[in-house]
Structure 1
């Protein structure tokens, strides 16, 4: 049974394409029509990054905490964060010229099909004199392994795995991490689901049905299908809540109860 809701949030159809859990890929490209200047207001500089590299505000804060937890501020470097559509097009076109169609289709997304345009994705690499911008070195040992093992606790997932290539459309990228937030990253890791699969999995927990309860009911997650115009989203009682569009067909609501407050590291 669900808890009785105490409030309703009304969101227009544009909100479907915003939030930490938006799915961006070839099938579901970026759909918002936002001026780059407005979008940049949602970003912040990445601690320790060069060339004014940015991430979405929460993602940037949690990335800094993850690096600190791994004592990796001087051994792991951010290679690429937020990109504008124009920057993504330049990278894609340059890769076509230098690497060809096959390589580019495996490792570089087309404009509006790249998570980097959301500010929620970051490529990381070992600190070296020379770093490959497209495929930076990020081995499965030492501090890089520690980063990967702890990432989910800070809301990040290794986005592209070898055994999920048919679903994601992208080859294995050990260096590419995506912020989806806590507890979603932990759940995805535990259930061995990529984001494409997780979006479908959460649909099993609609508001009027059983909710997905996490950590002894300290958090609950449910799904509300979007309408063509305004979607009225019921919010159950809790300490706080987050709403994210999925960029597909609905909204994912995460309710944090009081005892879960400190779990997010915020």
Structure 2
């Protein structure tokens, strides 16, 4: 038997694989977004309201920091930002650092992944921490964090080799939660999120009894079928459709 799932245009703007950049700004806030306050991790005191992240992102970040023994040496520098907070940061950066720096490191309001709650800036715990460009070296706990981040669903979102695609300078401190197995596939194939979304739109991916494919949504609703009892996840791409991940082996799914 098969399970029928109905997708609607609102599903395009929900999920862990949302592509947010200059070409794909946030047109709609995910109404299913669940933010949780960061309470048990070291955070940078910015004098603002308590820092938050999307629920699953925070759970996996907590597990990642525990696994790499980074709880004492790594700070959470920035998490979720409202549109107003992103606007304030963008305007302050323009004023203090100029247009060239700002266009390289600070997204315009509506174009920042931080507004999804799925992006986190982390930094080495030092006496002085730069809020926009925190230090996150390839040593100690920071190196350990980078080495296993993909296993917990995180990718380093902006790499030097992908600058021409992302239009953002290399940010070793900026990690984006996309979920497993997407993070591992991107890491193995050296794809940034833009490349991954584009590839899945053109070619389904089959990896260790996990099937990943794209469904365009051009009408009021679109129906797909999943084998009854088979775990799956759905994420919009923030543009024109959804990415379906089906775990044909029930032991293969993770957050």
Would you say same fold, with TM above 0.5? yes
Partner residue, 2:46: none
What SS class does the counterpart of residue 55 from structure 1 fall into?
strand
Structure 2 residue corresponding to 1:13, chosen from 9, 12, 17: 9
Report the equivalent of 2:61.
63
Match of 1:260 in 2: 251
Deviation at 1:76, TM superposition (A): 0.6
Select 2:165's aligned residue among 151, 167, 174: 167
**Match status 1:214 vs 2:214:** no
- Please, which runs of 5 or more residues in structure 1 have no aligned partner? 206-210
Q: Report how far residue 258 of structure 1 moved.
A: 3.8
Q: Once the 2 structures are TM-superposed, how far is the Cα of residue 57 of structure 1 from its aligned partner?
A: 0.6
- 2:225 is the counterpart of 1:234: yes
Q: Note if contact 2:7-2:217 (Cα within 8 Å) is conserved in structure 1.
A: no
1:92 to 1:13, Cα distance in 2 relative to 1, 3 A:
same
* Structure 1 position 22 matched with structure 2 position 18: yes
The match for 1:225 among 196, 216, 224 is: 216
- Aligned-partner Cα distance in 2 for 1:104–1:176: 15
Q: Quick one: distance in 1 between partners of 2:29 and 2:173?
A: 29
TM-score (norm 2): 0.92
In 1, Cα distance between the equivalents of 2:16 and 2:29?
Answer: 17
Q: Are residues 193 and 33 of structure 1, via their aligned partners in 2, closer, same or farther at CA, if it must alter by over 3 Å?
A: closer
Q: Give the drift of 1:257.
A: 3.1
C-alpha contact 2:118 2:176 (8 A) present in aligned 1:
yes
Unmatched 5+ stretches in structure 2: 44-48
Length, aligned pairs only: 249
